[in-house]
A and B are shown apart, each in its own frame.
Chain A
Amino acid sequence: MEAGTVSVVHPRGTELLATARVDERRIAWLFVCTGIALFGVMGLMGLAMRLNQAEVVTLSDSWFYRLMTLHGAGMLVAVLLAAMGALWFTLRATVPLHLGRMVFTYLSILGGAVLVLIAVLIGGFAAGWTFLWPLPFDSFGAWRPWSTDVFLVGLLLVGAGFFVFCLDVLMQTTATYGGLQRALGISYLRNRDDSPPPPVALAAMAVAIEGLIATAVGTTIVVALIGRAIDSGLEMDALWAKNLTYMFGHSIFNLVIYLFAGAVYVLLPGYAGRPWKTTKPIVVAWLFTIVFVATAYGHHLYMDFVQPAWASGVASIASFGAALPPAVVTIFTGVVLIWGSRYRWTLASTLLYLGFMGWAIGGTGAVIDSLIPLNFKFHNTLWVAGHFHTYLLMGVVLWTFALFVRMLEESAGRTARDGVSAFSLGALLVGGYGLVGVWYVSGALGVPRRWAIHPEGSAGYSLVASIFAIVFAVGFLVLLLECLRLARIASVQRWERIPAPRRSLPARAAPEPLLSTGYQFAAVCAATVVFVGSYAPPITDAVESSIRYHHLQHAAMYLVGLLVGVAFASLPAVFARIRSHPNLGITLVIAAPVVMMLGMVPAVYESLEPNWGLHLLYHIGMAALGVVTGLAAGALGLVAGRLVFVLSIGMALMYAAGVTGG
Chain B
Amino acid sequence: MKVAGGQFYWTIDPAVLPAHTKIRFDVTAVDVNHGFGIYDPDGRLIGSVQAMPGYVNDLRLTFDKVGEYRIRCLEYCGLSHHDMVASFRVEEQA
Contact = CB atoms under 8 A, between A and B. Distances in A.
A238 B33 contact: yes
Interface string A488-522: 00000000000000000000000000000000000
A135 B32 contact: yes
Given A446-B45, A448-B74, A453 B53 contact: no
Contacts of A65: 76, 78-79, 81
Contact of A134 (B31, B37, B46, B55): B31
B7 A455 contact: no
Contacts, number: 84
A135 B52 contact: no
B82 interface: yes
Given A376-B47, A446-B43, A448-B72, A142 B78 contact: yes
Interface stretch (A218-226, A263-271, A377-385, A538-546): A377-385
B36 to A, nearest CB: 11
A278 B52 CA distance: 47
A380 B78 contact: no
B91 interface: no
Contacts of A142: 78-79
A380 B79 contact: no
Contact of B48 (A237, A376, A455): A376
A135 B76 contact: yes
B39 interface: yes
B5 interface: no
A117 interface: no
A239 B55 contact: yes
Interface in A412-462: 445-446, 448, 450-455
A62 interface: yes
Contacts of B81: 65, 450-452
A381 B79 CA distance: 18
B70 to A, nearest CB: 8
For B52, B73, B76, the residue with the greatest tally of chain A CB atoms inside 10 Å of its CB is: B76
Given A65-B79, A135-B32, A376-B47, A238 B55 contact: yes
A564 to B, nearest CB: 37
Contacts of A450: 76, 81
A126 B79 contact: yes
A553 B54 CA distance: 25
A606 interface: no
A132 B43 contact: no
A455 B74 contact: no
Contacts of B52: 238-239, 242
Contacts of B43: 445-446, 455
Given A62-B79, A239-B52, A446-B43, A138 B33 contact: no
Contact of A128 (B37, B72, B73, B76): B76
A61 interface: yes
B94 to A, nearest CB: 31
B65 to A, nearest CB: 15
A138 B29 CA distance: 13
A134 B53 contact: yes
B93 to A, nearest CB: 26
Interface in A236-274: 237-239, 242
Given A140-B7, A242-B33, A135 B77 contact: yes
A403 to B, nearest CB: 33
Give the one of B7, B45, B48, B80 with max A CB within 10 A: B45
Interface in A461-489: none
B44 A446 contact: yes
A538 B77 CA distance: 42
B53 to A, nearest CB: 5
Nearest to B75: A380
Given A238-B54, A238-B55, A239-B52, A61 B45 contact: no
A651 B75 CA distance: 27
A139 interface: yes
Contacts of A61: 79-80, 82
Contact of A452 (B7, B44, B74, B82): B82
A138 B79 contact: no
A238 B52 CA distance: 7
Contacts of B72: 448, 455
Contacts of B79: 61-62, 65, 126, 139-140, 142
A139 B48 contact: no
Contact of A377 (B45, B55, B80): B45
B48 A379 contact: yes
Contacts of B77: 135
Nearest to B47: A376
Contacts of A238: 33, 52-55
Contacts of A62: 79
Contacts of B31: 134, 138
Residue picked from B45, B74, B79, B80, most chain A C-beta under 10 Å: B79
Contacts of A306: 55
Contacts of B33: 132, 135, 238, 242
14 contacts: A62-B79, A65-B81, A135-B32, A138-B78, A140-B7, A140-B78, A237-B54, A239-B52, A242-B52, A379-B48, A445-B44, A446-B39, A446-B45, A453-B82
Given A138-B32, A140-B8, A379-B35, 18 more contacts: A61-B80, A65-B76, A65-B78, A132-B33, A135-B32, A135-B77, A138-B7, A138-B31, A238-B33, A238-B53, A238-B54, A238-B55, A242-B52, A377-B47, A380-B75, A445-B44, A450-B81, A451-B81
Interface of B: 7-8, 31-33, 35, 37, 39, 43-48, 52-55, 72-82
Interface of A: 61-62, 65, 126, 128, 132, 134-135, 138-140, 142, 237-239, 242, 306, 376-377, 379-381, 445-446, 448, 450-455
